[in-house]
Chain A
């Protein structure tokens, strides 16, 4: 398929969704969490893009966004919008096993729960990191020079 044919093909594959095109090879589609798995199937089957580059979470201050970047000849990004209270997203572990580490990182850093992810371990944070503190959210700020570290009353499970 030519690069020029992609915009039309993508709009046809995702009827009713807004497809943003920033560059000749970059397409961005906004979704809700429950539509994610269907969209991934479409990307895999219709466009033959099986490579998930990464999953990037963003804190947009009023909601949380998860970008799923699929890279092939073009990059199709599925953007899942969730609210702050209970961000969950269905897992892609059975469709694309390579998504598991990225979902774990999303869980660690943003508190997004990938429902059905087979690996409950922490990805990059240490095991005794307090639950409920998500480093990459905007309200978790490292202190400026001279300020004290924010104290969070933490309680881990085991005694050292």
Chain B
């Protein structure tokens, strides 16, 4: 590294990061010439923890992988287990699951647009979009009982039904939201200061997106036509009519366009689902507690991309292996590479354009006792003593 290149660490704590991750950038002046990332700060060992819990406890645990896409993880896990058990979820249950799925997509994309506006300093758009996101949260709360971590999935279907008044309320509010989303689509593509920050930034050519196996709106903005809802249909999607939005811009403007248009598509899908909601049961009545030996792969189109869950059962009531691959992991390498060549000022918006959810991505561990470095775990007393000692030696004040 020559003299002109300085290395700035962004993270693990940084105002633009909603979760902890480490990015290292080599910059020359204001231009980025090298980038690396390091994850693991939010790793909670969920896959290992799942091996000690029965399937319903796993469902509870996997919900808490992430707050924004919690429904994705539970749905994908339920789908995998239902594949092993060969259960067929009743139609009404599938529709309700997909309804919550689309509402979650609404709230996640609105969150992202607000956060992207905040990253470029456009706080007015941030406040307005999040005001509308509150409407979606209210709808989710009325249907499922909670604003995040909905806990509406169970193996074999859903746990709660919706009443007719909830149905009319959702339809009315979604119609309201559609008008506002068209306004945001207009701002997102026409506001000069916003577009100046996102046009031509974070460019990822389609061949690179293909080679790095990117997923979700990030890949669709580079022209790749991948959508699990159409390619590998599940839930209510075989019955619905929707467009898969792709864009050829390959930069952050493209990702904004894709997500905003997907918002409008989601609204139309919600309307279709609610108007054609079939009658019947919402879940399979008797689900066996012990799952016979088998394995299954479930793929789900989360708001951020493709969410894969692989489950292997061994005949007991606890799974043998649960593998969760969240969409952010697939996109991160490509995102970090797309930043090279842009300016330092573009780092937050370029990394944020994949809609990162590091909670989904990590799954950490801590070294407790090391021969060379001594105890790494300190009790409160140890920490206090160490702090007093530090201030006495370095700063010269006594805090005891």
Interface residues of A (CB under 8 A from B): 22-23, 25-26, 28, 50-54, 56, 58-59, 67, 69, 71-75, 77, 96-102, 121-126, 128-130, 135-136, 142, 149, 151, 153-156, 158-160
B357 to chain A, nearest CB (A): 15
With A22-B295, A56-B323, A67-B310 as contacts: A126 and B329 at CB distance below 8 Å:
no
Interface residues of B (CB under 8 A from A): 38-40, 43, 45, 47-48, 52, 83, 210-215, 226, 231-232, 294-297, 299, 306, 308, 310, 312, 320-321, 323, 325, 329-330, 332-334, 362-374
Residues of chain A with a CB closer than 8 A to B370's CB:
128, 154-156
Given contacts A75-B232, A124-B363, could you give 5 more A-B pairs where the C-beta distance is less than 8 Å? A54-B308, A56-B325, A73-B231, A97-B333, A123-B40
Residues of chain A with a CB closer than 8 A to B323's CB:
54, 56, 67
With A101-B329, A101-B333 as contacts: A130 and B367 at CB distance below 8 Å:
yes
> Please, how many angstroms separate the alpha-carbon atoms of A15 and B213 in the complex?
28
> Please, how many angstroms separate the alpha-carbon atoms of A128 and B367 in the complex?
7
CB distance A154 to B47 under 8 Å?
no
> Please, how many angstroms separate the alpha-carbon atoms of A68 and B369 in the complex?
36
Contacts between chains A and B (CB distance < 8 A), count:
126
Residues of chain B with a CB closer than 8 A to A54's CB:
308, 310, 323, 325, 329-330
B45 nearest CB neighbor, chain A only: A135
Residues of chain B with a CB closer than 8 A to A121's CB:
38
B362 nearest CB neighbor, chain A only: A124
With A67-B310, A151-B369 as contacts: A135 and B48 at CB distance below 8 Å:
yes
> Please, how many angstroms separate the alpha-carbon atoms of A54 and B294 in the complex?
19
> Please, how many angstroms separate the alpha-carbon atoms of A22 and B83 in the complex?
9
Report which of B39, B214, B320, B371 forms a contact with A154, defined as CB distance below 8 A: B371
B318 to chain A, nearest CB (A): 13
Residues of chain A with a CB closer than 8 A to B306's CB:
53, 71
A158 to chain B, nearest CB (A): 8
Residues of chain A with a CB closer than 8 A to B52's CB:
142
The residue among A25, A97, A125 with the most chain B CB atoms within 10 A of its own CB is: A97
Main secondary structure of the interface of A (DSSP, over half): loop
**A–B pairs, 23, beta carbons within 8 Å:** A28-B295, A51-B226, A56-B310, A58-B312, A71-B306, A72-B231, A98-B211, A98-B333, A98-B334, A99-B213, A100-B333, A101-B329, A122-B40, A124-B39, A124-B363, A126-B367, A129-B365, A135-B48, A136-B47, A142-B52, A155-B370, A156-B370, A160-B373
A138 nearest CB neighbor, chain B only: B51
> Please, how many angstroms separate the alpha-carbon atoms of A1 and B241 in the complex?
22
> Please, how many angstroms separate the alpha-carbon atoms of A153 and B371 in the complex?
7
CB distance A96 to B372 under 8 Å?
no
Residues of chain B with a CB closer than 8 A to A142's CB:
45, 48, 52
CB distance B211 to A97 under 8 Å?
yes
B374 nearest CB neighbor, chain A only: A160
CB distance A58 to B213 under 8 Å?
no
> Please, how many angstroms separate the alpha-carbon atoms of A122 and B362 in the complex?
13
CB distance A25 to B367 under 8 Å?
no
> Please, how many angstroms separate the alpha-carbon atoms of A97 and B330 in the complex?
11
The residue among A26, A124, A158 with the most chain B CB atoms within 10 A of its own CB is: A124
B300 to chain A, nearest CB (A): 11
CB distance B308 to A53 under 8 Å?
yes
With A23-B83, A128-B367 as contacts: A75 and B213 at CB distance below 8 Å:
no
Residues of chain A with a CB closer than 8 A to B211's CB:
96-98
> Please, how many angstroms separate the alpha-carbon atoms of A101 and B306 in the complex?
16
Report which of B213, B296, B321, B334 forms a contact with A52, defined as CB distance below 8 A: B213
CB distance A129 to B367 under 8 Å?
yes
CB distance B48 to A156 under 8 Å?
no
> Please, how many angstroms separate the alpha-carbon atoms of A142 and B365 in the complex?
11
Report which of A72, A124, A154 forms a contact with B364, defined as CB distance below 8 A: A124
Report which of A67, A72, A149 forms a contact with B368, defined as CB distance below 8 A: A149
CB distance B371 to A155 under 8 Å?
yes
With A125-B40, A126-B367 as contacts: A98 and B213 at CB distance below 8 Å:
yes
Report which of B43, B47, B321, B373 forms a contact with A156, defined as CB distance below 8 A: B373
A72 to chain B, nearest CB (A): 7
CB distance B231 to A126 under 8 Å?
no
Residues of chain B with a CB closer than 8 A to A123's CB:
39-40
A130 nearest CB neighbor, chain B only: B367
> Please, how many angstroms separate the alpha-carbon atoms of A25 and B233 in the complex?
10
B329 nearest CB neighbor, chain A only: A101
> Please, how many angstroms separate the alpha-carbon atoms of A132 and B102 in the complex?
44
With A124-B362, A125-B40 as contacts: A69 and B310 at CB distance below 8 Å:
yes
B361 to chain A, nearest CB (A): 9
